[in-house]
Structure 1
């Protein structure tokens, strides 16, 4: 294909000669024409009219020409423009990479943030109708901060039985039994409706009914009554009792229920411990003073022991003997603020405790 650089005023036409140079001949229609030999042989020549371009050769082929640099148009982009476009493309690519990295980092941080609670959301989890998972402890499992009460009695000259009370994971008090003849523990009862506060202190004691009330012992009247003491949600002293006996008599019944102390409304300190040896119960009030509830004349009465103890002190009541215990003759163990363990004693319920 011929490339026509346009004609000039002299009417010369430039062609490729046989010897590889340029030949100049007058054109038929005027203008400057440059052709290679192969194109001439094939008749591939192109002509155009005057468009203001002039040939500039600067004498490199031995042919003079007219210098007109300010009239020549550049047909290719400047190298500088190409470089500028490459720089801009590189900057754009760098910005895309930086944006992707920042987006990933911020997204990772956001996923590790604690969920933001909306103002209208409740912090208390709603009750679910789903059944508890297998990891939940069973209801009869011991509550984490449950108290424990233990009592027992002789059932013969060489046999005995023990009762243990604890709080289950569901809040109910549970009763377990041990008999020396069987040599193993078993569940005796689930004391529903006791309304004990979670983590309540528990104390237990027992007495033989005919022995305590001075009545004849018969096959149908030889009950042992177990007394359980604990706190409700208001930190009020509560009493629950049950009676049982080993007897073939069909009239031997088991009775249980809430005791009359429960209606007294006597309040203990929230972290008070409880100790008991029938018919006495020791607990601590909000002033760190010991209080005693004592059962006499078929009713409970409360009185201040008059001893100051350490906050949350443990207590223990130990009778001199079975007979002395029936009348309140006992020793009381407790702890003072100096961490020392003290013992107070009395001969009967009408005496004051004195240092032992």
Structure 2
């Protein structure tokens, strides 16, 4: 272009390189609201309560009456009868003895009732204490939300995604995405040099369906974040925003091609330039932008050398996509991890004639539960153009497990990562790289090896040290 672009007229979308000069999204003049009103926790949909039992014991026993808040005996008729002379006296004495007997009997009854009530209350208090103790205990495979978690700020079993890049000089920055109980998509930024998470941005203007997938990635040419989701009609939607912006813009994936829907319940994953999801017939579909002539296209995932090789996933399988080469450039060799139709964790490489460099030893030989979340991260392998890969999933005991390939000797594991809420999503961080504007190699550094999932309702970070998974941050939700 001979003149400067109008930065507000065009929103770059899912593309590797525009056919003309890039349109950079400027920061809007009005800040986006980020405050999240605090609200009391709400019960789970399955009826499990998040509230503390109040300890009350119901109505008082019917044996007693209450007057002005004091316990009293039931009203009694007079024990004295009127009479004259000895007969009257004898009758009076007789009645006196009767009265004494009655009073004694009443005293015995009162003692028995009081003892029973006290014992009953003591037993009831013990039951309540046990109930409270049970509601606040934390079994290793707990799926309960802690009462301190604001379920408006973070939805139970929200879908998660995370993306990031290295900074010039040293360190890295990343963004985590999740959905609140109000269905608004939220994101918080982390910068390693400061070691803190930002106050979350709340994208309240998006019509995101409850439980939508939220695949996110970075277009490195600008750079800008690309975030995709499904609306209330399962229509595929996309937004983008710059690293210093607070409001998302409609992405060109919506404006440059006809609207399309995605099968309800499918998982989604993204790593630039790919967005991967499952077709109704169990194959996998790619949304891609090819700057070398075809522009936007989408197709069924297939083998590079043999197009007849088409991976088939189990219904609603988890999906993770990562690069399989350290020098990530066109034709962009990558791979997906998924659950196959035999119930096993499988991998499939695609995208280039160098496909399979990292995954040429076959798939991990482990069975995983149906519809479990799957996430993956990759770093550069020393002295090679390959990558080292870690794939995470949740087992039947609700523990997060990991299989990995950190050399040329095949897959290892499973290795336990930690406890998690049953049915949690998992997201793992892989450094974003690209060959536009300049070739960036996938780093061999290990400081970005971080994954995220829910535990007791909160989003927990796990960090992989040289060989061990350790607790990282609990992500602030508001």
Instruction: Give the whole-Å Cα distance in 1 for the aligned partners of 2:171 and 2:223.
Output: 15
Separation in structure 2 between the aligned mates of residue 208 and residue 268 of structure 1, nearest angstrom: 26
For residues 235 and 353 of structure 2, what CA distance do their matches in structure 1 show? 23
Cα distance per residue 1:239-277 (max 9 Å; x no partner): 1111126xxxxxxx7773121223532322211000111
Corresponding residue SS for 1:228 = strand
Q: Any conservation in 1 of the 2:333–2:354 contact (CA below 8 Å)?
A: no
CA contact (8 A) 1:278 1:325 kept: no
| Gaps in structure 2 of 5+ consecutive residues | 1-146, 302-309, 363-478
Distance 1:339 1:235 in 2: 27
- Contact 1:328 1:349 (C-alpha < 8 Å) held by counterparts: no
Aligned counterpart in structure 2 of residue 293 of structure 1, from 281, 287, 290: 287
The CA deviation string for residues 288-333 of structure 1, in whole angstroms up to 9 with x for no partner, is 2211110223953211113211011111111134642553211221
| Structure 1 residue 329 corresponds to structure 2 residue 357 | no
Query: Structure 1 pair 325/266, CA: closer, same or farther in 2 (3 Å)?
Result: farther
- The 3 A distance-change label for structure 1 pair 235 and 350 is farther
Look up the SS of the partner of 1:302 in the other structure. Answer: strand
User: Is residue 308 from structure 1 mapped to residue 312 from structure 2 by the alignment?
Assistant: yes
Matches within 5 A, 1:214-253: 223-244=222-243
Matched residue, 2:183: 171
Aligned to 2:396: none
Report if aligned partners of 2:311, 2:348 keep a CA contact under 8 Å in 1: no
Cα distance between partner residues in 1 of 2:345 and 2:229: 24
Cα deviation, 1:167-205, whole Å, max 9, x if unaligned, reads 112111111011111111122422232211001111111
Rounded Cα–Cα distance in structure 2 between residues aligned with 1:229 and 1:325: 23
1:313 to 1:254, Cα distance in 2 relative to 1, 3 A = same
| 1:259 matched to 2:251 | yes
The RMSD of aligned alpha carbons is: 3.1
Residues 203 and 276 in structure 1, CA contact (< 8 A), matched pair in contact too: yes
1: CA distance between counterparts of 2:296 and 2:228?
A: 13
Partner secondary structure for residue 328 of structure 2: helix
* 3-state secondary structure, aligned to 2:193: coil
8 Å Cα contact 1:318/1:331 also seen in 2: yes
**1:294 & 1:338 partners in 2: Cα distance?**
29
The count of residues paired between Structure 1 and Structure 2 equals: 202
Could you tell me how far apart the structure 2 residues matched to 1:198 and 1:322 are? Answer: 36
Segments of 5+ residues of structure 1 without an aligned counterpart are 1-134, 210-222, 246-252
Question: How far does residue 139 in structure 1 lie from its aligned partner after superposition?
Answer: 7.6
Give 1:348 shift. 2.6
C-alpha contact (below 8 Å) 1:294/1:300 kept by paired residues: yes
Q: If the length of structure 1 is used for normalisation, what is the TM-score?
A: 0.51
Tell me how far apart the structure 1 counterparts of residues 329 and 232 of structure 2 sit (CA, whole Å): 31
Once residues 353 and 204 of structure 2 are traced to their aligned partners in structure 1, the CA distance between those partners, rounded to angstroms, is: 33
Whole-angstrom CA distance in 2 between matches of 1:140 and 1:349: 47
Give the equivalent residue in structure 1 for 2:216.
204
Aligned residue number for residue 397 of structure 2: none
The alpha-carbon distance between structure 1 residues 198 and 152, as it changes in their structure 2 partners (threshold 3 A), is: same
Indicate if the aligned counterparts of 1:241 and 1:256 stay in contact, CA closer than 8 A: yes
Deviates more, 1:186-195 or 1:223-232: 186-195
- Report the structure, 1 or 2, having the larger helix content: 1
Q: How much has 1:137 moved relative to structure 2?
A: 7.9
Quick one: distance in 2 between partners of 1:296 and 1:350? Answer: 18
Separation in structure 2 between the aligned mates of residue 349 and residue 176 of structure 1, nearest angstrom: 37
Larger radius of gyration: 1
Distance 2:148 2:262 in 1: 32
The structural deviation recorded for 1:157 is 3.3
